[in-house]
Amino acid sequence: MNNLASIESGLAELDMRAGATLTDRLFDALQRAIVEGEIPQGGKISEPELARRHGVSRSAVREAIARLEARKLVERKPNLGARVVVLSAEQLIEIFQLREALEGMAARLAAQAMSEAEIDALDALLAQHGRQIEQEQGQAYFQKQGDLDFHFRIVQGSQNRQLIGLLCDDLYHLLRMYRVQFGMRSKRCRQAFAEHQYLLSAIRARDPEMAELLMRQHVRASRRNLEQALG
Amino acid sequence: MNNLASIESGLAELDMRAGATLTDRLFDALQRAIVEGEIPQGGKISEPELARRHGVSRSAVREAIARLEARKLVERKPNLGARVVVLSAEQLIEIFQLREALEGMAARLAAQAMSEAEIDALDALLAQHGRQIEQEQGQAYFQKQGDLDFHFRIVQGSQNRQLIGLLCDDLYHLLRMYRVQFGMRSKRCRQAFAEHQYLLSAIRARDPEMAELLMRQHVRASRRNLEQALG
DNA sequence: TTCTCAAATTATGTCGACACTTTGGGTCTA
DNA sequence: TAGACCCAAAGTGTCGACATAATTTGAGAA
């Protein structure tokens, strides 16, 4: 048993999944705090403060911060410490250009590689989204969450581990952070829903070319929407 | 001045650029050692050994290893330590699928964003490659190196920082490692050279659509070549 | 000999301490 | 009052040490 870390109160909030090191749990907690906006954009990530708050040493905090940096959630400068990234409008646009390329490829591969069962599940997910939109109940949050879910599954369906890692481990966290911080509610959610359905049709038809085309147009439309909103 | 680290012999090989922390220099040295194949694929990255060899503490080594992990050059498992990644044939194929998507987008953006001067410089680079191929002197190494140079410049020309970071900071190091380790000499270097020229023409003509198409075909051809050689 | 299991050795995870850098505040001067 | 300078406080970079987990060694039994 470790000296005293495990009975410290600060760690109570952290999940205790087996085999996870202290740094792992710290990383999860910090990533959540950043993505959920508890630490604002540009906010300082202070090693001593976090160490105190969580009742651990600076070493563990430093390592967790290093992982956050690897995921582009914080930026670190020598002797100056780490701060939560600030996404400029330009960078957001650039990220959407990345998404267009990557998710386009993911859709192409998914059209070839997804199982019928996965496609059926995706169909069910879309049906649920449709109901939510009709009732206007889930609104922005659930719609955006649902949007990410949909894209998430397509990427998983590509069965390309590089793609999956890049998008699901890194980019999607950044996107979620951005969405929480900006509280952005898209006006084109009905349109987006329709585009999701077209895309699913192409995947069901096992048409990679069309799937990629539709996904790219879908992401591009989101980007244009964003450009207009941001200016 | 630091206690004694700076007069230790182990650090002599490390560059002393200003503002760089010990970890920075260690990271550079380790990355080079891995990419150049001095540490083989699957090789163990031992913290105590490296600390001894470079005359620094384990803390610095650990942080450098964390960065290597972020760049996908090593894999770390809790309580087991870090090992240089082993690229399976499948993963290599997956990486080329990534490249197809990313560099395709890069070419599209470069066709719009590159300056005339950059295009001229690229032209000069290609002319040089052409001479090297004629003389058959540079052979595999220089040809492959030249190939990466060409792609590198296109990516830079996209002026999309996300793309640049992803490809130039991460993926290209992985690729270089793979090439060094496999010592792979492509038989299609003349063909590749021709494809580079087509691509440059499309960029010069400011035709984004065509630039992306040509880049994707170029990368896809490399991938097919690879699949044949490996599969 | 070969297999098994426990002791010893080594490596990793985490901690606290110290040195150097940056920051913030206060003082002195023009 | 504004600005330069210095000093104290806080933060980061690096170190060595200890606790725990993994690995190796070697002794004994089948």
A93-151 pLDDT, tens per residue?
999 999 999 999 999 999 999 999 999 999 999 999 888 888 765 555 566 778 899 99
pLDDT band at B188 (very low <50, low <70, confident <90, very high): confident
φ, ψ at B76 (rounded to 5°)? -125, 135
Average pLDDT over residues B209-226: 97
What's the N-to-C CA distance of chain B in angstroms? 55
| Among the ranges given (A180-184, B46-50, B106-110), the one the predictor scored with the smallest mean pLDDT | A180-184
Average pLDDT over residues A85-97: 95
Question: Distance from A67 to chain B by nearest Cα, in Å?
Answer: 7
Single-letter amino acid code for the residue at A215? M
DSSP β-ladder status, B74-77 and B44-45: unpaired
Chain B residues within 8 A of A66 when measuring between CB atoms = 63, 66-67, 70
pLDDT of residue B135: 78
In which region does residue A77 sit, left (phi positive, over 0), alpha (psi from -120 to 50) or beta (all else)? beta
Percent of chain B's residues with pLDDT above 90: 76
Average pLDDT over residues A210-229: 96
Using CB atoms within 10 Å of the CB of residue B121, give its burial: 0 to 12 exposed, 13 to 18 middle, 19+ buried: middle
Mean pLDDT of chain B: 89
Asked whether strand D has any atom less than 7 Å from the CB of A176, the reply is no
- Checking each nucleotide's C1' against the CA of A77, the nearest proves to be D12
Token pair recorded at residue A148: 């990410």
Nearest to A206 by CA among A113, A81, A91: A113
The H-assigned helical ranges of chain A are 22-35, 47-54, 58-70, 89-113, 116-135, 139-158, 161-164, 172-182, 189-204, 208-230
Cβ <8 Å between A97 and B70:
no
pLDDT of residue B17: 64
| A184 pLDDT more than 70 | no
Please tell me whether residue A25 adopts helix, strand or coil conformation: helix
DSSP β-ladder status, B44-45 and A81-84: unpaired
| A8 pLDDT more than 50 | no
B66-103 pLDDT, tens per residue?
999 999 999 999 999 999 999 999 999 999 999 999 99
A35-66 pLDDT, tens per residue?
999 999 999 999 999 999 999 999 999 999 99
Token pair recorded at residue B189: 């270097």
Average pLDDT over residues A147-166: 96
Average pLDDT over residues A174-181: 90
Half-sphere exposure of B150 (CA within 13 A, CB side): 27
Mean pLDDT of chain A: 89
What's the N-to-C CA distance of chain A in angstroms? 55
| B43 pLDDT more than 80 | yes
Determine how many CB atoms are found less than 10 A away from the CB of residue B102.
25
Of A63, A100, A163, the CB nearest to B105: A100
User: Using CA atoms, how far apart are residues B113 and B97, in angstroms rounded to an integer?
Assistant: 24
| B16 pLDDT more than 50 | yes
pLDDT band at A174 (very low <50, low <70, confident <90, very high): very high
pLDDT of residue B184: 67
Percent of chain A's residues with pLDDT above 70: 87
Which positions in chain B have a beta carbon within 8 angstroms of at least one beta carbon in chain A? 19-21, 24, 59, 62-63, 66-67, 69-70, 78-79, 91, 94-95, 97-98, 100-102, 104-105, 109, 160-163, 166
- Top pLDDT among B126 and A3 is at B126
pLDDT band at A9 (very low <50, low <70, confident <90, very high): very low
